[in-house]
Structure 1
């Protein structure tokens, strides 16, 4: 760019540094600079134009306007975000699109929070959704990474409201407490109110939450009472569209200590609203279906008269970690549990072959 000083007809003053430019070149490449440098604005008659923008991102934009290239390999994520923000300000849609696509390809646990914050600043809905999906799929690692502390309060609260952010609630509480220490000016009570206390164990409530002093005693007692009753718990769940979450790949376990009873433990808590059963014995038997999230509080689903053909049982959509099948005879069954028309995935399939 130094070679442009001799022929330039405008100089940009950015953070005390002078950068040369050419009105006609910049006006041809950018509507913003056409209006600024060749229109009726005061800057069109000035040799020196002062810009209140960050210097390094502006250098990248200026270089792009002359060369049509972006030096992706030499820019870190934070700089790319700053360049994209400036491109948005200058209405350089193509540059925005290029950088957004590149950031999506390079998204990782270490940078997704920064990318999300930037997407929210400019209301990039698709980018926001992509970040949220990535964070759902890598929830625990994102929660434990130091970059989690840089989330804006709006972004953090939005995630705490999500039902598909499956992480131990006590770890969420610890992360929120740490986030509060890093962001002391924010009101922690509005954030921590979104932590789902009844999903913790009583031991965690007494020895992790209570000593923090963040939660009021009445709310802590209410949470303990709800843990004890095990009813209407606000479970966070996992949605894996079209994945066989009962396969060895997803670490599903089967317990058959009693020949008349089968318990299936899924790797995580999943939403289910349909259970199908095959009776391989090809004989009539009464089968009782129960589901649970903790193996302590079981919900009776249905009593089924099973024969050799498949039986599909529709149930109220619910969070499920365990499925228990009971019968008065020895069990030899195939079981499928699935979620149909879920709010965030069209078909979650759980196939359990016994």
Structure 2
């Protein structure tokens, strides 16, 4: 007798039992039942419902029936409370402190519904809920609320939001508030909320170079704060030290600062002495900070006050249609000739970019100075001993700047120095700089970085710099020179501190090469850094870092013919690619390197 199956009741004569068939049913129908929305609705329906409630939360006499499992799933704080071995895990009633019923009710609703409408709350209530979100460790919601606060900053609320961010050590929100206050310092100091800041949070504001307002006004605002906070007397001296008395006019010091008796007499006398004896550039200015924003712009009040055709560098140009006569210029070598820019206001800068006209092979040497008063100048870039061309990317220690001037000291082609474009800004992520020269991390011998091959023979002018290392043969993809006659020279657009070079020698057969590598800052005086002997394919060389503009590779011998072939050059060498090199060389300047096999290849 066969085993009973309920399906037999529905089976017609001749019908196949699906349990014994490979035929699948209902190919074209939805094969999944999704009832998520019903689940969400039912969980939401448990909000403030005593049904199945296993805990009552009490906030200032207000009672909230709730469910330990739901709260624990939504918050690590409640998970630890109810299932972490604490006594509340067994209690039917739990009293919550340091919150208001209104704020807790809103957050409790979020636990059950998954929604929280920010725009329905006024700022005080929003910040109460925000404090609970932080306390209960709801990170995703906290991040969303921080973003909302960032876009809600106004003069009258930024100090309140900053205080909250400072209290909870929310660095990103705190920095957003600080940057907003930097831009609106005068107006922010006139708000009541500014007077409610804690001493420590106020200290962080006043110590910033970018909190830019008249120093006398900063002192007067701090005076009001001190009178409003006698309980923080331990902070008064520290805060007063942030006042830069040297930036307050002498008559204002005598009439407005000294009578308050807040400043020690010695400090007042020192400030007066510094105003008389110190250089203007050493007075510790405050300035506006606009990260990654070019401040040389007519819309920001920039003016070119020295140089021919001053408007030239203030207008965007198409390099393909560049008219040299419309560029800003000055005569090279003429006494007192500069290109000078006056910014609309004092800015904190650490980067200047110049686009020097380089249609031909002209090279320039120059220096750049900055000033706050147009009289006392500080040199921030000195490339008077280097030959440069094209786009210049120049970093220097950040400082407050109102005026920028450039003087060209040498030109190889023309008596005029031309600039087609100029930028100045503050870059938060600046590279390492040594004696005004960038220490690059990535390869700068590239077309994108405006490097050029100025000596050498190739079917493609810059084949050596295009980054293609897997598409070369007997006729294409390399640069060469005849042994005993000539060399290959690469020119970087500006000096860089270079301590390594990586080469790909042409290796379509087993030939080997002998060659030297020399470097120079002016294409006249060269220093030999590498002496390569019997080498092939990929090679990486390390030597004492030094400023480099020109790299000259001279072939000495080739085991196959009378031509030296080079496929690729890179400087500095990318350490991640060094393992591809057949050999690595370590060299001291003016000494031959010791060649050794790279550790990764010793067993090959």
TM-score range, shorter chain: 0.7 to 0.9
| Aligned match of 1:351 | none
| Aligned match of 1:129 | 175
- Highest RCO, 1 vs 2 (Cα 8 Å, sep ≥ 6): 1
| Aligned match of 2:343 | 266
Mapped contact 1:57–1:82 kept (Cα < 8 A): yes
Q: Distance in 1 between matches of 2:112 and 2:407?
A: 73
Does 2:169 align with 1:88?
no
> Which one of the candidate residues 282, 292, 296 is aligned to 2:371?
292
| Aligned match of 1:49 | 94
> Which one of the candidate residues 248, 253, 256 is aligned to 2:298?
248
Q: Which has the higher helix share?
A: 1
Residues 20-41 of structure 1, C-alpha deviations (whole Å, 9 max, x = no match): 2233433443343344345643
Mapped contact 1:230–1:297 kept (Cα < 8 A): no
Deviates more, 1:192-201 or 1:251-260: 251-260
Residues 37-79 of structure 1, C-alpha deviations (whole Å, 9 max, x = no match): 4564333333322121312222222121122221312212222
Residues 260-291 of structure 1, C-alpha deviations (whole Å, 9 max, x = no match): 78764322223356585969xxxxxx999764
Pairing of 1:5-20 with structure 2 (within 5 A)? 5=50, 8-20=53-65
- SS in structure 2 at match of 1:59: helix
Mapped contact 1:273–1:314 kept (Cα < 8 A): yes
| Aligned match of 2:224 | 178
| Aligned match of 2:143 | 97
What are the ranges of 5 or more consecutive residues in structure 2 without an aligned counterpart? Answer: 1-45, 309-329, 331-336, 358-364, 409-415, 432-604
Pairing of 1:1-354 with structure 2 (within 5 A)? 4-5=49-50, 8-37=53-82, 40-55=85-100, 56-187=102-233, 188-231=236-279, 232-255=282-305, 264-270=341-347, 271=349, 291-295=370-374, 297-299=376-378, 317=397, 318-323=399-404, 334=419, 336=422, 338=424, 344=428, 346=430
Q: Distance in 2 between matches of 1:275 and 1:94?
A: 40
Q: Distance in 2 between matches of 1:29 and 1:277?
A: 56
Mapped contact 2:75–2:138 kept (Cα < 8 A): yes
Deviates more, 1:252-261 or 1:223-232: 252-261
Distance 1:50 1:195, change over 3 A: same
- SS in structure 2 at match of 1:156: helix
Residues 161-191 of structure 1, C-alpha deviations (whole Å, 9 max, x = no match): 2122222211211121122222221232211
Mapped contact 1:272–1:320 kept (Cα < 8 A): no
Q: Cα RMSD (Å) of the superposition?
A: 4.1
Residue 298 of structure 1: how far off its partner (Å): 4.4
Q: Distance in 1 between matches of 2:259 and 2:119?
A: 47
Distance 1:13 1:66, change over 3 A: same
Q: TM-score, normalised by structure 2?
A: 0.49
Distance 1:69 1:289, change over 3 A: closer
Mapped contact 2:369–2:405 kept (Cα < 8 A): yes
Q: Distance in 2 between matches of 1:183 and 1:120?
A: 18
Q: Which has the higher strand share?
A: 2
Q: Distance in 1 between matches of 2:61 and 2:268?
A: 55
Residue 18 of structure 1: how far off its partner (Å): 2.1
- SS in structure 2 at match of 1:186: helix
What are the ranges of 5 or more consecutive residues in structure 1 without an aligned counterpart? Answer: 280-285, 348-354
Distance 1:199 1:345, change over 3 A: farther
Mapped contact 1:27–1:33 kept (Cα < 8 A): yes
Q: Distance in 2 between matches of 1:87 and 1:96?
A: 6
Q: Distance in 2 between matches of 1:297 and 1:278?
A: 26
Mapped contact 1:77–1:103 kept (Cα < 8 A): no
| Aligned match of 1:350 | none
Residue 250 of structure 1: how far off its partner (Å): 0.6
Residues 107-126 of structure 1, C-alpha deviations (whole Å, 9 max, x = no match): 22222222222122222222
Deviates more, 1:25-34 or 1:10-19: 25-34
- SS in structure 2 at match of 1:32: helix
Residues 279-309 of structure 1, C-alpha deviations (whole Å, 9 max, x = no match): 9xxxxxx99976431245445788979xxx8
Q: Distance in 2 between matches of 1:2 and 1:244?
A: 53
Distance 1:10 1:249, change over 3 A: same
